[in-house]
Amino acid sequence: MSLYAKRGVSAQKEEVHAATKNIDKGLYPKAFCKIYKDILGNDEQWVNVMHADGAGTKSILAYLYWKETGDISVWKGIAQDAIVMNLDDLLCVGIHDNILFSSSIDRNKNLIPGEVLQAIIEGTQEFFDNISKYGIDIAFLGGETADVGDVVRTIAVNGTMTARWPKNKIVTNENIRHGNVIVGMASFGQSVYEVEYNSGIGSNGLTSARHDVINKYYKENFAETFDGSLDDEVIYIGKHRLTDDVSVSFRDQQLKTNIGKLILSPTRTFAPVVKNILEEHFDKVNGLIHCSGGGQTKCMKYVPEDVHIIKDNLFEAPEIFKIIQQSSRADDKEMYQVFNMGCRLEIYAEEKNADKILSAAREYGIDAQVIGRVEEGNGKSLSIETKAGAVSYQF
């Protein structure tokens, strides 16, 4: 059993999928989000989407970093994580504007004071104000803040997004086909709309990142940050403190940061560049995949049957994932199905159209390249080429 499983989490969410297998999949079963008829407007030419997600256990890392350093600004990053995990899922069905957002914050009031709530709420509005400069308008409709210390150890930050969108402007992944190439967009670096280097960690796999990288100091001093029923061998087994210095190489520069800031890098949104691509080249996009839960295997839920997905030109994994793998000793197969490994958005297109998509990404300072292709297969399978060799998955 992997360390991930021993900690009570699952990259593939098998039990969740089993519980929801009989639920209506919406108008387009391969679409990245459930798309439904236009109940809000009752127009056959429009559709509705409602989506819920959150920052997950990344909020525990923010709690630890805040307690250790006093830096309350980390909570603004958690606000961004909860938003982007919704927003970038909506991007994958073509939605990039006129969105409603409602937040949901559950806290243990004895540990999470009002100043933390204020930082999260103000961070939410700050993100919306910044992203509106790029033509993405999201209305913040408030939400629910509950004091539920008997349920939540520290804090859980989640949100729901709703949109009404023209039916002829949605992406359903039904056009993904043999011969398509996969354009990948880097989750790391510094885009034109980011103020500092982003490690690329996103908001998935943070249970592993937290326990594998940081050390027993946090078990001994912050029992509220882990499940007490876990075996000691899987609790905070790394060698680092969150304040440990680390150097990162990016674009021929050496950047100084620390472990905590790397793991807490706010999830990058691809909304500005995807908006540009969909407005200028909508007919050239065959599919969109957000490599969130499930990492580089996420695509297999949305591609057609009888395909072999080959990813043989992924970005070199950025420093944060190297640190995690060195600490956990996880093999490549597990790493690539838990983490995005530096590539968090995939666009499926005809090879002749790839350059237009690549150019759009680079205008925003985002590294992008053709990372793979779609071939015919017997059943659904995925091959990923790593430095240590190929890893394969059968679905």
* Phi, psi for 250 (deg, rounded to 5): -150, 120
Tokens 């990404």 locate to 361
What string of pLDDT tens digits covers the 395 residues of the chain? 677 688 877 666 677 768 877 788 899 999 999 999 999 999 999 999 999 999 999 999 999 999 999 999 999 999 999 999 999 999 999 999 999 999 999 999 999 999 999 999 999 999 999 999 999 999 999 999 999 999 999 999 999 999 999 999 999 999 999 999 999 999 999 999 999 999 999 999 999 999 999 999 999 999 999 999 999 999 999 999 999 999 999 988 999 999 999 999 999 999 999 999 999 999 999 999 999 999 999 999 999 999 999 999 999 999 999 999 999 999 999 999 999 999 999 999 999 999 999 999 999 999 999 999 999 999 999 999 999 999 999 99
Angle, to 10 degrees, between the axis of helix 206-213 and the axis of helix 58-69? 40
Let me know: does 108 contact 155? Beta carbons within 8 Å: yes
Give 350's DSSP letter.
-
Per-residue buried b or exposed e for 203-214, using 16+ beta carbons within 10 Å of the residue's own CB: bbbbbbbbbbbb
Q: Model confidence over 228-272: pLDDT tens digits?
A: 999 999 999 999 999 999 999 998 899 999 999 999 999 999 999
What count of Cα atoms within 13 Å lies in the side-chain half-sphere of residue 285?
28
Helix (H) or strand (E) holding 261: helix 259-263
Angle, to 10 degrees, between the axis of helix 74-91 and the axis of helix 58-69? 160
- Cβ-based neighbour number of residue 77 at 10 Å: 24
Is the full-model pTM beyond 0.85? Answer: yes
